[in-house]
Chains A and B, each alone.
Chain A
Amino acid sequence: MLIVAPSQAADPGAAVRARLTGFAGFLRANGYGVGGGDAARVLETAEHVGILDPQILRWSLKALLCGRGDEWRRFDALFDAYFLPPNKRAFAEHRTTTAGVAEAAGGLRDGNEGPPAAAAVEGTVGDDDGIAARHGASREESLASTDFRDLDHADDARDIEALMRRFARRLRHLRLRREARFHHGRRLDLQGTIRQSVGSGGTPFRLAWKDRRRVRPRLVLLLDVSRSMSQYSFFYLRLARALCGELADVHCFIFHTRITGVSEALRDPEPWRSQERLHLLAAGWAGGTRIGECLRDFNRDHGPRLVHSRTGVIIVSDGYDTGEPALLADALATLNRRARRLVWLNPLLRRPGFTPESRGMQAALPHLDLLAPGADLASIAHILPQIIDTLR
């Protein structure tokens, strides 16, 4: 680990070097994407800037080790925690307690009430189609049309996983086929034509065309993970993870009393870290749903960046809103103006005797492009290609 030439070893002592290299590991443990080579780079940086002035070391290491905005904002606290002795102990204690809470929360899941986010990521590594293929097509069909709440998590988890991956992969094929059709354009591309003609000795057999670049379609999923949705959110998070894995431009948010982006956590290739991150995001799980406020926050914080004229926004919720309906209507109207397609999937819609009469749903209806049932995979399989279709 210590890659400092002997001649330089005298000036920062071995203990100091170990302390510095340990910082990279400390950040990695805190969810930073710090790689193996970074420990050596920390030493190199320290050689350049010296270690006596904490400020200059802080600024330099911050530039070196951060990679994104949230890492940037958390860095100062972590730097203090690691390099300023009294804080270090307090921070370590804090960490163990949060980990304990997370574990306790994970244990609750058996009672069907715990954070579905944690459940969504376990055992997601075995994703080959072989598992589903073993059971045959009929088993898959029956799974596809079973209401999510009737599925036993533990038994069917792997099958569902495989099924969702196949489903997401079908979506990808759909996209590729359609893109391939745009091969002819409006205007002749002279440069391109000549470039292509080099192979045929300067005779332009194949013409190259220019077409207007189109914005690629994008999907934004807003999942209600409040208590009343707990039977469904488990599956929707799995579906979101499968979609994130297969399609390039999918963004996922969960909301209950507030809204949080989970695309990063869902995409995390390391299951343990992914789970840890979702644990953190699931903080403050209990309590009612404030859909209106959450959507307003989404519009404010993420709307301008994420939602463009080729974006499909899919809200998955049962519509039981403890907030103000006017706020919900307002937020949906804003969202609808910005997005190409605004779809609400309500898992309760197919239940016998259910009509969308809750105040939340009533306020929402005028602003939706589509309200559809979403209790099983078959209905999602029916609706998603349609949504993607409208985006092109």
Chain B
Amino acid sequence: MSASAQRMNEVAALQAQLEGAGYVAERPLAAALLLMLDLGRPLLLEGDAGVGKTEVAKALATVRQAKLIRLQCYEGLDVHAAMYEWNYQRQLLAIKLLEHDAREVSRKEEDIFSERYLLKRPLLEAISCDEPPVLLIDEVDRADEAFEAYLLELLSDFQMSIPELGTVRAVSRPLVVITSNGTRELSDALRRRCLYQYIDYPAFEKELAIVEIKAPAAAGQLARQLVEFVQSVRRMDLQKKPGIAETLDWTAALLRLGISTIDDDGAERILETLSALIKTRDDRAGFTREVVARIAAAC
């Protein structure tokens, strides 16, 4: 069997495993994940909010049976919140307690700056796991450039230096998944270091498969109709297009209200549930009874 054919089988196998973990992945994404395992490079995922970027990391962790460590980025995230911090309160307490201890000062110091007093934040935790974990760095574009530089350093060497302890090397290389919503342009250096995957809103078949996996109760006619409805809504000129999470919420809402089919007669009841799908006031104003009836009739 040639390398390519073998690879294709691996891709298909991974795709099936991901589906087993509740994530419907297209083959290109599965191929990229395999390459990420081969080359040991981070995977950068971009795309609109709600297309399932974060889910990739979760599914990968399930498939690999690895621990998922998540670092949620935000503006003002600093080294102390992301890498490590000393537990100052405990250290001060320990100093007081050690005052009457007969040991040498250097011994005491070693004790105070030992790992017991180290608070591990996600990045340090990720490189000190025995089994390679999945490290999810979520919404990296929300953190500032300075943090991005730190991250680059970590991602190139997988080691971290703590002045009091020395250099901590990765016991095992974590699988790094980085997501970005594009609120800020990422540096070229970070982009070049990562494999890249742009995730678009799902096509009809993919979204249908997702709904059928996540909400089996809706399977069949209702699932087809509601996915068709959401796809039409996405083609409209909206401020905030509904993502997959919205589709699933809406599915749950429809099921809860006992709606089993989408047609123009039921437009009133659909209107009641639209708050699960449409999230801004301006967008909501565009959905009159007539508009909903028209879209529903086409489903």
Contact = CB atoms under 8 A, between A and B. Distances in A.
A87 to B, nearest CB: 21
A50 B195 contact: no
A48 B7 contact: yes
Nearest to A303: B239
A300 B194 CA distance: 30
Interface residues of A, number: 43
B88 A195 contact: yes
Contacts of A154: none
A246 to B, nearest CB: 15
A69 interface: yes
B195 A49 contact: no
B3 interface: yes
Nearest to B95: A202
A33 B5 CA distance: 31
A53 B85 contact: no
Contacts of B76: 213
B198 A69 contact: yes
Contacts, number: 112
Contact of B196 (A51, A53, A66, A305): A66
Interface in A51-80: 51-53, 55-60, 62-64, 66-69, 71-73
A67 B191 contact: yes
A72 B191 CA distance: 12
A59 B31 contact: yes
Given A44-B39, A49-B3, A69-B46, A191 B192 contact: no
B28 A52 contact: no
B28 A62 contact: yes
Contacts of A41: 39
B188 A52 contact: no
Interface in A229-286: 248, 263-264
A72 B196 contact: yes
A56 B11 CA distance: 9
A378 B63 CA distance: 62
Given A52-B5, A213-B75, A60 B88 contact: no
B159 interface: no
A351 to B, nearest CB: 38
Interface in A276-303: 300, 303
Interface in B150-208: 182-183, 185, 188, 191-192, 194-198
Interface of B: 2-8, 11, 27-28, 31-32, 34-36, 38-39, 43, 46, 75-76, 80, 85-86, 88-89, 92, 95, 145, 182-183, 185, 188, 191-192, 194-198, 237, 239-240
Given A60-B32, A67-B194, A69-B46, 5 more contacts: A33-B191, A50-B4, A62-B196, A194-B92, A215-B75
21 contacts: A33-B191, A48-B3, A48-B7, A48-B35, A51-B4, A52-B5, A53-B5, A56-B7, A56-B8, A59-B11, A60-B32, A63-B31, A67-B191, A67-B192, A68-B196, A69-B46, A72-B198, A73-B198, A194-B89, A195-B88, A202-B92
